[in-house]
Each structure stands twice: as C-alpha cells, then as structure tokens.
Amino acid sequence: MAVVTYTSAVDKMKVFSAFIREGLENGDLVDCGYPDEESETFRAKLKEYGIDVEKYERKGALILEGLFEWYMSDGKFDKERAIRRGLEMRVEAKRKGYKHFRAFEDLGDFSFLDGQWQTYMEYWDDPRWETPSGPYTEVLDYTPFVIELVAFNVEGIGETQLNEMFKAFWVGNPEYTVFIDLLEYTDAFSKLLGISHKKLIGRKFLLEFDPSSSEEVKVIENLTKETIANVEPIFIFTSERSPTHSRLAKHQAVKFFLLSPSISIPKSTSENEMVLPAKNTALILDSLSKVLEEHAHTNIFLVFDKLSELINLVGFDKAYKFLLYVLEMLLTTKATAIFLLNARAHEPQVVSRIRGLFHNLLTYDKDELKVVKIT
C-alpha cells in the first residue's frame, strides 16, 4: 500500500500510468477511481503514456470509474455498498486467476465528499478490509494479492490538517504503508549538485567518501527517493550487511544485487534481491548486461557502492578492467550510475587512475556532499 501526495506542480499521471501499466503487463486486475471531472483527461493521459485502454477494458483487466459513480451512486456516500462491492471485485479477481488485485484511487481534493475527508477514512479503516468475513473469508488471501495506491492533492491543505490526514492513513497496518511526496523528492539528489533531474540522466559519477563519517548512504538514499518519485528503476550493487542495504531494503522499488565472497553461483533470495559471487566479475557483468537489455529504452539508475572492496578482493588490475567494461557498457545508454570509492583505502596512484575514467567527480566528507567536477 502506498499513499501519494501531490500538487498541480507535478505530472501525477506519469506516476499513476506507470503503476497501472505495470499491473496490466503483469497480469493483474486493475481497478481505477479518479475525480469525475478528470474522466476524459485520465483516459487520454493513460494512452499518452502507452496504455491501450480499450484493449484492456475489453479483456476486463482494466476498470475505470469516477469517484462519484463509485461512492455516491445514490447521491450520498454509501460505505456499506462500497465495501461490499470492493470485496466482491477482489473475490472475482481471485477466482479468475489474476496475479494481483491492483487498486488505484486518485481522491483529488476530496471534492466528491465536499472536502470531508474523515468520511472517506471511516471507509478506509474498516476492519473488513483486513479480515473479510462471510462469503469472502475462504476466497480472499491477501498475502500478497492486493496492491493499493491512493493519492490525494495537498494543495491548499494546512499543515495541521495534513498531519491529521497522515495519521489517519497510517492506522491499520503501518508496516505495509509507504508515503511518497512527489513534489518533495523529484529532485532530492540532483538539487544537491545544482542541476535538474533531466540533466542528471545519463551521467556517470565517481563518489569518493570518508569512511569515518559512514553517512555517504544519505546521498544514495536521496538518489533513491528521486528515482521513485520520477518512476524510474534503480539497481544497487552492494552487500547484504552494508549500510546501503540496511537503509534502503525497505523500499520495494529498489532492486539489489548483493555481492558475496562466500558463494560461487548467483542465487535469487527474493523478488527484489539477487546474490552474486563477489569474486566473479564476469557474472556481475552478465547481470548488469541483462538489466541494460531489459531497460534499453528507459532511464535507469545504477549504484556500485563496493568498488574498494572489489579492488581488495580481485586486485586492482582486474577491478580496473571490470570498471572499464562497465563504463563501456553504459556509454551509449540512458543509465545514470554512481560508483563509490573509499579513497583512503588505496594508494594515490590507484585513486588517480580511477578518477581518470570519470567526467563527473563528487566527494562526501564531513557529512557534506561536494561537487569536484561536472562536465
């Protein structure tokens, strides 16, 4: 479950379309609700972002409906009817063999309820969503069947009321609820460099850090937030016990390649994690090649935060050749990549040779990110 806040300053449909398209391509039943006044623009935007609306509607995999039609069919908010109908749709999706029931709702500014968002929260927080009773009990197994994205416009909402709304949305299962502020995070990393997100795309960075601070992961965290807000995939090559993995494993949108010196063949441990043998650079390159092939026409982000460890494991010459191969693979792609190097762990000539491979140099020292060179 994700809750997205937005204002008119962001292209919300870029995010919403990505969520909907992913579900349709994945074999999910996708149910969409949106402000009734946006019915035509909603459909048009889905098509603009590459979704064949009519095809999926004919198949029954895509359901589009205005909020007023869904909740206010008799002119007033009917909580019981909405819950019953929602559960029945989930049961039907389960029986028909859909992979997930993917629910999307853009609540706008809650104008369909005359701004009375508390009324919606009574519906949202009803215990029947968590523990269906009666005819739904045997059919609905929610793990991991339901994927939900709810969005609302925070424009014109005061801070006090917004805090109340966040607390209300947090009720129930907070461990399954993720909040995303599209406006705050769209340039969370790029603004630190003094450039736009658009100008960030395609650059390859070397980030030298001081290991005594151990907070360089904040930089990667900001990059991750920016990729999520811009609906662009991020792949991180790190280790299972690294601060990067500890801090970012909670983000389901992040894909990890975990380098381990104790295994000899790749091993998938979860949907988002693959363990790779750290000493086998050929297998690491092969995994990267598959990622680039799969996302050949997409802006993607890559993080290699174990460059120093790789040098220590396989030796400088082999690590240097690996880095050359990676940069050559990335040369003509839309991939944006950051390589982290503990400069203090190596001789000056080693650091100098690695620096020579990059046109964009950053340092993180004394809890501060500094731009050394951007070309």
**How buried is residue 333: exposed, middle or buried, by Cβ count under 10 Å (0-12/13-18/19+)?**
middle
The whole-angstrom separation of Cα 249 and Cα 243 is: 10
- Amino acid 166: pLDDT: 78
Rounded to an integer, the average pLDDT of 209-230 is 84
- Residue that wins the pLDDT comparison between 124 and 348: 348
Q: Do 367 and 215 contact (CB within 8 A), yes or no?
A: yes
The whole-angstrom separation of Cα 163 and Cα 89 is: 32
Q: pTM (2 decimals)?
A: 0.62
Which of 79-93, 146-160, 167-181, 198-212 is the least confident region?
167-181
Q: How confident is the model at residue 125 (pLDDT cuts 50, 70, 90)?
A: confident
Question: Would the pLDDT of 13 be above 70?
Answer: yes
- Amino acid 177: pLDDT: 61
Tell me, what DSSP letter sits at residue 305? Answer: -
**How buried is residue 75: exposed, middle or buried, by Cβ count under 10 Å (0-12/13-18/19+)?**
exposed
Rounded to an integer, the average pLDDT of 308-329 is 94
Q: How confident is the model at residue 183 (pLDDT cuts 50, 70, 90)?
A: low
- Amino acid 249: pLDDT: 87
Which uninterrupted H or E stretch holds 235? Answer: strand 234-238
The pair phi, psi for residue 301, each rounded to 5°, is: -125, 140
Q: Do 269 and 255 contact (CB within 8 A), yes or no?
A: no
Rounded to an integer, the average pLDDT of 309-332 is 93
Angle CA 221–150–65, to nearest 5: 145
Question: Would the pLDDT of 175 be above 70?
Answer: no
Angle CA 268–22–270, to nearest 5: 15
Question: Would the pLDDT of 176 be above 70?
Answer: no
For residues 60-70, b (16+ Cβ closer than 10 Å) or e, as one string? ebbbbebbbeb
Select from 68, 226, 280 the least CA-distant residue to 288: 280
Question: Would the pLDDT of 306 be above 90?
Answer: no
- Amino acid 1: pLDDT: 79
User: Which of 6-15, 83-92, 140-149 holds the top average pLDDT?
Assistant: 83-92
Collapse the DSSP code of 283 into the 3-class scheme (helix H, G, I; strand E, B; otherwise coil) and give the result: helix
Rounded to an integer, the average pLDDT of 231-259 is 89
> Percent of the chain beyond pLDDT 90?
48
- Amino acid 178: pLDDT: 62
Select from 67, 12, 76 the least CA-distant residue to 34: 67
Partnered with residue 209 across adjacent β-strands are: 364
Give the torsion sign (CA, 94, 98, 99, 100). negative
The whole-angstrom separation of Cα 61 and Cα 28 is: 7
- Amino acid 270: pLDDT: 86
What is the chain's mean pLDDT, rounded? 87
Give 39-49 pLDDT, tens digit per residue: 999 999 999 98
Give the DSSP letter string of 7-35: -TTS-HHHHHHHHHHHHHHHT-EEEEEE-
Beta strand 336-341 with 273-277 is unpaired
> Percent of the chain beyond pLDDT 70?
92
The whole-angstrom separation of Cα 202 and Cα 346 is: 28
Rounded to an integer, the average pLDDT of 290-309 is 89
Q: Do 234 and 227 contact (CB within 8 A), yes or no?
A: yes
Which of 181-190, 316-325, 330-339 is the least confident region?
181-190
Q: How confident is the model at residue 192 (pLDDT cuts 50, 70, 90)?
A: very high
Domains of the chain: 2-182 (3.40.50.300), 190-373 (3.40.50.300)
Question: Would the pLDDT of 180 be above 80?
Answer: no
- Amino acid 126: pLDDT: 82
